Amino acid sequence: MKTKLFLAVASFALSLTAPLMGIINITAVESPSGVTISFSGSLDLTGLTKSTKAAFTNGYVASYSANGDIFIAPPSAEPFAEADRYTGSITFYSGNFGINTGVAVPPTSYSGTSIIGIDPLTTSSILVPSGYTSGTISGSNYYEDMTLADLGFSPVPNTYTTSWAADSIVISTSTVPEPTTYAALAGVAVLGLAALRRRKVA
């Protein structure tokens, strides 16, 4: 009995320390000044096949008739001019980002150390930094004076998941309220506390 209990505890402890599936999380957040699309994480490319090199001219979000493409990269080709394209049994997010313009919207600026791309329509592939095999990658595109709706993300909040047997890339959208909204919420909270105090006094 003691042996079985020990083995169960040991198994649970190992499960806590075991490496988790990589997963790249992409967040698209709208603020009063614009939209920031950031990504961070690592990927397990097991089961996918490296097909071709892809040249990045810039990062962009594009919306088409079937699915939207998203590439997080610098506004120009430097310093990440090339990416590795992977294909295979990939399940892409369902539905479009919301608008079917077919126009790629380039970012205002970029920060970070790497790139990521999802191309469900034309090549059914994901794109990673050239030579990537493992490790954490991250980056961020900023779209000044734009909204998530301008970039085709609708409705908000929403989640778009691209997955394969070994891993996944998850896009999540959200908004940051206007400063006036925070002020209004603070006012409501103050009124609520005042009312509560009056009740206690009564």
Per-residue pLDDT tens digits for 42-61:
999 999 999 988 876 678 88
Using alpha carbons only, give the angle 173, 176, 177 rounded to the nearest 5 degrees: 135
pLDDT of res. 184: 47
How many Å apart are CA 128 and CA 130, to the nearest integer?
6
**For 122-175, how does the pLDDT look when each residue is reduced to its tens digit (9 = 90+)?**
889 999 988 999 999 999 999 999 999 888 887 889 999 999 999 999 999 999
| CA atoms 178, 179, 181, 182: torsion sign | positive
User: Mean pLDDT lowest for which of 18-27, 50-59, 178-187?
Assistant: 178-187
DSSP string, 122-173: TT-EEEEETT--SS-EEEEEEEET--TTTTT--SSSEEEEEEETTEEEEEEE
pLDDT of res. 190: 52
Task: Tell me whether strands 125-129 and 104-105 are parallel, antiparallel or unpaired.
Answer: unpaired
User: Mean pLDDT lowest for which of 12-21, 36-45, 47-56?
Assistant: 12-21
CA atoms within 13 A on the CB side of 95: 12
Residue 28 has pLDDT above 70, yes or no: yes
**For 63-79, how does the pLDDT look when each residue is reduced to its tens digit (9 = 90+)?**
765 678 888 988 765 54
